[in-house]
A and B are shown apart, each in its own frame.
Chain A
Amino acid sequence: DTAVSQTPKYLVTQMGNDKSIKCEQNLGHDTMYWYKQDSKKFLKIMFSYNNKELIINETVPNRFSPKSPDKAHLNLHINSLELGDSAVYFCASSRTQGGASGAYEQYFGPGTRLTVT
């Protein structure tokens, strides 16, 4: 079974549309993240949720709204899509306490390639 899954894998849409990307993890982790990788391949954190509570919110336009219905899911909704939103979006999860090794490493999903035309 896939540890961190994202849907869809590819998303092509027009400017101005609203779209959502879904993420699910089956690792029992308490924290989930969204990262964005732009055309220059730089990976940057966008949001993080711990037990459904927003704990990291980088400088991201208000058009991006994460939603966490439960600990295993973190969805990303984007309103009024713009050309500059084209990127690969990665979801990740980690444990933040109670791990045996204490590594708290983050596990990443396969990514969603968003193309805005």
Chain B
Amino acid sequence: DAKTTQPPSMDCAEGRAANLPCNHSTISGNEYVYWYRQIHSQGPQYIIHGLKNNETNEMASLIITEDRKSSTLILPHATLRDTAVYYCIVRVIQGAQKLVFGQGTRLTINP
């Protein structure tokens, strides 16, 4: 079963920052936080991952709380193409580990 809790849906205005929360209060010390998204009818797409430090790449930023029990994915300037279901997943990094998807957050970017 998924080890994360996310709000089922969120809305954000185009051009604004979208902040997607995730609760993972039972995360283990060797588990990373991963974010994927699934745009309608497409395969899931990797966004970013982190262990305990904040991370940033060309797609998004990941803020992990100091106690690692929650995190926030930030899309700094959301566009209509960012409308998707966003999944927060915790997993160990070694080996061929399966991804356990929860219900995710359906993010709708409004013009």
Contacts and interface: CB of A to CB of B under 8 A. Distances in A.
20 contacts: A4-B43, A43-B38, A43-B44, A43-B87, A45-B98, A45-B99, A56-B96, A58-B98, A92-B43, A96-B94, A96-B96, A102-B93, A103-B46, A105-B46, A106-B44, A107-B46, A108-B43, A108-B44, A108-B45, A110-B43
A106 B85 contact: no
**Could you tell me the dominant secondary structure of chain B's interface residues?**
loop
Interface of B: 34, 38, 41-46, 49, 85, 87, 93-96, 98-101, 103
Nearest to A40: B103
A114 to B, nearest CB: 14
B93 A106 contact: no
Nearest to A47: B98
Contacts of B93: 102-104
Interface of A: 4, 31, 33, 35, 41-45, 48, 50, 55-56, 58, 90, 92, 94, 96, 102-111
A110 B42 contact: yes
A33 B98 contact: yes
A74 B65 CA distance: 39
Contacts of B44: 43, 90, 92, 106, 108
Contacts of A41: 85
Contacts of A106: 44, 46, 99
Given A4-B43, A108-B43, A110-B42, A96 B85 contact: no
A111 B103 contact: no
Contacts of A56: 96, 98
A105 B42 contact: no
Contacts of B43: 4, 90, 92, 108-111
Contacts of A90: 43-44
B76 to A, nearest CB: 21
Contacts of B100: 45
B41 A111 contact: yes
B2 to A, nearest CB: 10
